[in-house]
């Protein structure tokens, strides 16, 4: 059973057509990925540019208050005032009654034990001294000896206890520096439920407390230095800080003081003039503009929780739906191709990701967004129509979802449309440079026109032009980076790849030239015909020419079985074969060509030309020969497997292949005979239905016919015979006959 029969066989009534889960699953994943991208993009509220000024700038336009608002202090002034208010709050200290009580209790126990020992007459003086030093107070031997006297002990312990009460009443702190606490000369001391300010000089640290105890002892015992020294020794372990710094309370009070600093300077009423056009921005106007900008940002942020994810997803879904409808109606072959749709989805994600990085994260101008990247890639892989429509729709959806400013729209449209036509026909290296220059020139012209129309200051214009030049550079650079990845991942073919394949020194074409020279010459002539016809109807002439170079590579397997490779005076190998076997041999060059193309990794656009350039046509010579032997032979057995041409380029290749082969057998190839032959061959293909799936119109078919005729006429033009000696001609003919025998 032939392939044609398999395609034409109708489905059985009770057999349901299987649902292509993988095919539609890929489409669902593409839509879901774009919706997720739109939802997950972080929100970056765009503050109106008219509110962005610096001190001393000249206002570009008249600005009035759109609503009532309060003028906020600038951040530096507010921070300074808050720091001043915080610094005015003195440290808070707490009188710790627990420390005071515990310390005095320890002294009372020591006093009781020391008096008991000094009054104990049963102890020897040496034992009494040792017992006093063992009470836990670091007394020297002389001090313990002096304290062993009952009268002195009673007097010293009483006085030291009183002095400790007085010292703790004044307050002892851990540390003082330069007669200040925490850098303050006055602090707040809290004692229970009350608090009062107290000068730092009225509080003692431990060193000052001991010095005070020494002064009291010297005043009390002017004639007894031993008692004064022993009093200080007794008091030393009991002088401890009882007024401690309350850090938490101090910090809380300072925060409260910062919060009480007013953040507003004044009030602006609706429609009040903030700054007039061409007026210098002073400090007062700058504060009003900054306050207005902050309020606009805050208002946007309050709506961020509700708006962005859902709204951006709806916008993206509308973009997908409208573009899908366009493809389904105008370009159904693109709509049916998942690789093509994946390419559009990838380019959308790349452009929006670049916009997020450049504008959202880096804070650069919208003019830097390389939207021309998308039309550069699409136009390099497809025709101009989908590239134009995709560019226009991508500009709209990117502006809406990314919340870009209005100037982005005309500049992006101009750059995108220019990109489509600048790479429509890439044939030389200069074309790449030309595309870059054209895109840059148009983008810069659009930015310049926009800025000049709004009387933008020259420094701002220069800055915007710099961003536009960066846009062009990024677009071209990213396009050449993304294009090979897209081709490899999605099986698409650009003109750059076709240019590489058109090199006649490639190994496969060199092999065709050496092993099948007739087929090689045939392919070159067909390439010239296809290129001229494609140019006539506006198809991709480079694609048509390259496809012609490789359409018969399958003949490398058995080149001697094809007419163009047979010697002129030799016999055809098919004379010894049955018609059915000859048909199988000829058809085999389709399968062998596809296998060779897969091994050589030829792109799909070139591989498709191998089976499509014959379509499902019948091999008329072998079919007629078979009918002479068996009238009941089936026609389908002598048809090529197909499919029929599905693009204009492969349809042109089919017609060029047919007219080139038929023209070789034409006797006296005059222009009129060549035109008649071309018309007959093309009409046969049209009536056989071979051009029904390629999209060619009748007017385009007529243009193709008119393009073929001059090329074939130039190839097969009749030369005038050169005059020569008749005797020399007769002698040469005799030599030729003798050699042939």
Residues written for the chain: 741
What does the pLDDT read at residue 299?
64
What does the pLDDT read at residue 426?
63
pLDDT tens for 596-647 read 999 988 988 899 999 999 988 988 888 888 888 888 888 888 888 889 998 8
Which of 659 and 732 is assigned the larger pLDDT?
659
**Helices 373-381 & 408-422 angle (0-180, nearest 10):** 30
Is residue 34 over pLDDT 70? yes
pLDDT tens for 347-380 read 999 988 888 888 877 878 888 888 888 888 888 8
- Can you spell out the DSSP letters for 255-305? HHHHHTS--EEEEE-TT-EEE-TT-B--HHHHHHHHHHHHHHHHHHHHTTT
Q: How far apart are CA 159 and CA 170, in angstroms?
A: 17
**% of the chain at pLDDT higher than 70:** 89
Judged by DSSP in three states, 369 sits in: coil
Structure tokens given for 455: 């009387």
Closest to 370 in 3D by CA, of 384, 379, 359, 385? 359
pLDDT tens for 459-500 read 888 888 898 888 888 888 888 888 888 888 777 888 788 888
What does the pLDDT read at residue 298?
65
Q: How far apart are CA 545 and CA 534, in angstroms?
A: 9
Closest to 337 in 3D by CA, of 386, 374, 384, 373? 386
What does the pLDDT read at residue 707?
92
Torsion sign (Cα): 717, 718, 723, 726: positive
What does the pLDDT read at residue 734?
57
Beta-carbon neighbour count of residue 144 at 10 Å? 22
pLDDT tens for 79-110 read 888 898 888 999 999 998 898 899 899 989 98
Q: How far apart are CA 213 and CA 210, in angstroms?
A: 5
Q: Is 572 exposed, middle or buried (0-12, 13-18, 19+ CB in 10 A)?
A: middle
Alpha helices in 538-665 (DSSP H): 541-550, 579-599, 604-607, 609-612, 620-629, 648-664
Inter-residue contact 455 to 60 (CB < 8 Å): yes
Please state the three-class secondary structure of 162-224 as a single string.
HHHHHHHHHCEECCCECCEECCECEEEEEECCEEEEEEHHHCEEHHHHHHHHHHHHHHHCCCC
Q: How far apart are CA 276 and CA 60, in angstroms?
A: 9
The DSSP letter of residue 576 is G
Angle at 611 between CA 610 and CA 616, to 5 degrees: 145
Domain ranges of the chain: 21-43+307-492, 49-73+262-302, 94-241, 512-715
Structure tokens given for 343: 């390419």
Judged by DSSP in three states, 361 sits in: helix
Q: How far apart are CA 417 and CA 94, in angstroms?
A: 77
What does the pLDDT read at residue 650?
92
Is residue 124 over pLDDT 90? no
What does the pLDDT read at residue 741?
38
Q: Give the phi and the psi of residue 164 in degrees, each rounded to 5.
A: -65, -40
pLDDT tens for 274-328 read 888 888 888 888 888 877 777 776 666 555 555 567 888 888 899 999 999 998 9
Which of 159 and 302 is assigned the larger pLDDT?
159
Average pLDDT taken over every residue of the chain = 83
What does the pLDDT read at residue 428?
61
Q: How far apart are CA 632 and CA 151, in angstroms?
A: 153
**% of the chain at pLDDT higher than 90:** 16
**CB contact set of 414 (below 8 Å; sequence gap of 6+):** 442, 443, 445, 446
What does the pLDDT read at residue 278?
80
Judged by DSSP in three states, 95 sits in: strand
Average pLDDT over residues 528-542: 90
Inter-residue contact 426 to 496 (CB < 8 Å): yes
Which range of 33-47, 300-314, 384-398, 565-579 scores highest in mean pLDDT? It is: 384-398
pLDDT tens for 206-217 read 898 889 989 998
Closest to 393 in 3D by CA, of 377, 370, 369, 417? 417
Is residue 74 over pLDDT 70? yes
Cα–Cα distances (Å) from 120 to 132, 141, 227, in that order, read: 12, 19, 20
Torsion sign (Cα): 556, 558, 564, 570: positive
pTM above 0.85, yes or no: no
- Can you spell out the DSSP letters for 441-465? HHHHHHHHHHHHHTT--HHHHHHHH
Is residue 3 over pLDDT 50? no
Is residue 544 over pLDDT 50? yes
Average pLDDT over residues 126-148: 84
What does the pLDDT read at residue 738?
47
Beta-carbon neighbour count of residue 565 at 10 Å? 18
Average pLDDT over residues 258-269: 85
The half-sphere exposure of 260 on its side-chain side, counting CA atoms within 13 A, is 11
pLDDT tens for 647-686 read 899 999 999 998 988 887 777 778 888 888 899 999 999 9
Looking at the domain covering 512-715, what would its CATH class be?
Answer: mainly alpha
Judged by DSSP in three states, 143 sits in: helix
Is residue 135 over pLDDT 80? yes
Is residue 46 over pLDDT 60? no
Q: How far apart are CA 411 and CA 266, in angstroms?
A: 41
Average pLDDT over residues 512-524: 90
Element housing 339 (H / E): helix 338-355
Closest to 426 in 3D by CA, of 474, 379, 490? 379
Torsion sign (Cα): 245, 250, 251, 254: negative
- Can you spell out the DSSP letters for 550-573? HTTGGGGSSGGGSGGGS-TTSPPG
């Amino acid at each position: 059973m032939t392939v044609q029969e398999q395609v034409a066989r109708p489905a059985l009534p009770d057999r349901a057509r299987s649902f292509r889960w993988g095919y539609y699953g890929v489409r669902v994943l593409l839509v879901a990925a774009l919706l997720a991208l739109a939802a997950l993009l972080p929100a970056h509220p765009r503050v109106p540019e008219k509110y962005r000024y610096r001190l001393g700038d000249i206002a570009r336009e008249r600005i009035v208050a759109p609503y009532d608002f309060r003028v906020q202090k600038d951040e530096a002034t507010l921070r300074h005032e808050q720091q001043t208010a915080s610094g005015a709050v003195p440290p808070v200290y707490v009188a710790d009654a627990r420390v005071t009580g515990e310390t005095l209790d320890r002294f009372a126990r020591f006093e009781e034990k020391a008096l008991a020992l000094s009054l104990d007459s049963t102890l020897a003086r040496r034992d009494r001294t040792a017992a006093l030093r063992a009470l836990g107070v670091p007394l020297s031997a002389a001090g313990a000896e002096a304290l062993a006297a009952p009268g002195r002990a009673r007097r010293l312990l009483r006085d030291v206890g009183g002095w400790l009460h007085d010292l703790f009443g004044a307050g002892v702190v851990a540390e003082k520096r330069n007669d200040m606490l925490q850098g303050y000369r006055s602090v707040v001391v809290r004692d229970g439920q009350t608090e009062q300010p107290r000068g730092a000089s009225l509080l003692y640290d431990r060193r000052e407390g001991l010095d005070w105890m020494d002064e009291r002892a010297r005043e009390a015992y002017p004639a007894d230095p031993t008692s004064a020294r022993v009093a200080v020794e007794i008091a030393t372990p009991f002088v401890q800080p009882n007024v401690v710094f309350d850090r938490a309370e101090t910090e809380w009070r300072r925060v409260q003081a910062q919060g009480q600093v007013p953040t507003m300077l004044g009030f602006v009423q609706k429609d009040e003039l903030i700054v007039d056009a061409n007026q210098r921005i002073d400090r007062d106007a700058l504060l009003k503009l900054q306050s207005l900008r902050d309020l606009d940002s805050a208002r946007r942020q309050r709506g961020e929780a509700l708006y962005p994810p859902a709204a951006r997803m709806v916008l993206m879904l509308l973009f997908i739906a409208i573009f899908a409808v366009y493809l389904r109606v105008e370009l159904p072959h693109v709509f049916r191709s998942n690789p093509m749709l994946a390419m559009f989805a990838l380019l959308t994600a790349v452009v929006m990701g670049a916009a997020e990085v450049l504008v959202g994260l880096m804070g650069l101008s919208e003019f830097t967004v390389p939207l021309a990247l998308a039309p550069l890639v699409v136009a390099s892989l497809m025709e101009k129509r989908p590239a134009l429509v995709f560019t226009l729709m991508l500009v709209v959806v990117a502006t809406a979802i990314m919340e870009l400013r209005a100037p982005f729209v005309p500049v992006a449209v101009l750059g995108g449309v220019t990109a489509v036509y600048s790479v429509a026909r890439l044939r030389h290296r200069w074309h790449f440079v030309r595309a870059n220059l054209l895109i840059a020139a148009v983008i810069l012209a659009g930015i310049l026109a926009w800025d000049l129309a709004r009387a933008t200051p020259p420094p701002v214009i220069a800055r915007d032009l710099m961003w536009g030049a960066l846009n062009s550079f990024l677009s071209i650079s990213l396009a050449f980076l993304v294009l090979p990845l897209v081709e490899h991942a999605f099986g698409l073919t650009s003109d750059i790849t076709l240019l590489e394949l058109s090199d006649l020194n490639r190994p496969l074409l060199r092999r065709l030239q050496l092993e099948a020279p007739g087929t090689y010459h045939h392919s070159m002539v067909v390439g010239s015909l296809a290129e001229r016809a494609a140019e006539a109807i506006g198809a991709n002439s480079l694609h048509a020419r390259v496809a012609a170079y490789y359409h018969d590579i399958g003949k490398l397997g058995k080149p001697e079985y094809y007419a163009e490779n047979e010697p002129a005076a030799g016999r055809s190998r098919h004379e010894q074969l049955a018609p059915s076997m000859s048909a199988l041999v000829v058809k085999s060059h389709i399968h062998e060509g596809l296998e060779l193309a897969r091994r050589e990794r030829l792109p799909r656009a070139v591989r498709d030309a191998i089976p499509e350039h014959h379509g499902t046509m019948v091999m008329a010579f072998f079919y007629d020969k078979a009918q002479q032997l068996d009238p009941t032979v089936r026609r389908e057995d002598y048809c090529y497997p197909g499919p029929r041409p599905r693009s204009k380029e492969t349809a042109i290749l089919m017609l060029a292949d047919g007219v080139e082969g038929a023209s070789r057998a034409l006797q006296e190839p005059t222009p009129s005979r060549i035109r008649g032959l071309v018309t007959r061959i093309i009409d046969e293909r049209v009536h056989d239905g071979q051009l029904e799936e390629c999209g060619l119109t009748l007017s385009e078919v007529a243009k193709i016919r008119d393009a073929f005729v001059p090329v074939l006429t130039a190839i097969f033009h009749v030369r005038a015979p050169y005059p020569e000696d008749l005797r020399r001609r007769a002698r040469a003919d005799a030599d030729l006959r003798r050699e042939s025998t």
